[in-house]
Amino acid sequence: MKSTFVYIGIALIKLLSLLPLSVSQGFGGLIGRLMWLFKTSGTNVARINIRHCYPNKTPDELDHLARKSMIAYGKTIGEMGMSWNWPIDGVKKKITQVEGLSYLTDALESEKGVLLIAPHHGNWEILNHFFSQYFCMTIMYKPAKIKALDDYILKTRKRIKVNLAPANRRGVAMIFKSIKKGEVVAILPDQEPTENSGVYAQFFNQTALTGKLVCQIANKTEANLLCCYAKRLDDGTYCAMIKLANESIRNKDELIAANALNKDVEMCISDCPEQYQWVYKRFTWQPSGRSNFYRKKYQ
């Protein structure tokens, strides 16, 4: 049954790729509005996350941000056809602005390697296309559980010539090897890891299990640290954002380093908070075990 839904989903993505981007974004925005209207589980998670991360906002402000975040999330879904199926040059043309490019060029010239810290913010798939014009990078990849979906994702990502490192010890070794050769690697810093590979740090003044890998790479290498995300602009195109990361991520104290990493993710989110992927259960694990964050429906 799951495979059937996967094939339907892939067919829908391919269908969306035939439409103008404005139309597919509009369709995605409608999906987000419907998710908000029908109070889906994703909507509930987004509202809970936003409520805990912005405790000083009024109920109306919280609802306004949560609704906008669901619309933006829907647009990200609608953009999959463009991100995964459009010709590479066609996707690149939708990146109409770049901020912080000099940080990237300076980092590449240093030949010390580059670690791109790319949270689930804006349309992160667009970044693969943007960076492909400058280098071939290595990214961590966790295979999808359903083979048909995994095959499709691999096919779409390989066409932009990225090296895929599995999310295991072999993949970590690949990442370090690439950095030592002066190459570029990209890691998503805001996925909840296993307890053994994470540390409990502060994220929006909430306790969040945070992966150690970014901080370990920063501590053990001289790699340039850059944060990046692709912000959706009002006209439907994108701005590739590149920012210097906090050097405290290199701290040998795991907690200090993880707190600095999360502060950088917060910095990126603050630019356009509605475009962050609030539907992800970022606070599932707490020092005492599984949290109560998502067990009770938000009213």
pLDDT in tens, 172-182: 999 999 999 99
Q: Which amino acid is at 198?
A: G
Other C-beta atoms closer than 10 Å to the C-beta of 125 total: 18
pLDDT at 299: 53
Q: What is the CA radius of gyration of the chain?
A: 19
User: Which of 96, 72, 93 is CA-nearest to residue 82?
Assistant: 93
pLDDT at 141: 83
pLDDT at 297: 66
Binning the chain into helix, strand and coil, the percentages to the nearest 5 are: 50, 20, 30
User: pTM above the 0.85 mark?
Assistant: yes
User: Which of 123, 100, 130 is CA-nearest to residue 244?
Assistant: 100
CA 230 to chain centre: 10
- Upper half-sphere CA count for residue 67 (Cβ side, 13 Å): 10
pLDDT in tens, 203-226: 999 999 999 999 999 999 999 999
pLDDT at 9: 87
pLDDT at 167: 86
pLDDT at 47: 97
Name the residue with tokens 């040059």.
Answer: 89
User: Which of 79, 77, 81 is CA-nearest to residue 32?
Assistant: 77
- Please tell me what DSSP assigns to residue 188: -
Sequential pLDDT tens for the chain (299 residues): 567 878 888 898 999 999 999 999 999 999 999 999 999 999 999 999 999 999 999 999 999 999 999 999 999 999 999 999 999 999 999 999 999 999 999 999 999 999 999 999 999 889 999 999 999 999 988 877 788 888 888 888 778 878 989 888 999 999 999 999 999 999 999 999 988 899 999 999 999 999 999 999 999 999 999 999 999 999 999 999 999 999 999 999 999 999 999 999 999 999 999 999 999 999 999 998 888 788 766 55
Name the token pair of 111: 């030949």
Name the token pair of 123: 């349309």
Name the token pair of 173: 């070794």
pLDDT at 77: 95
pLDDT at 153: 81
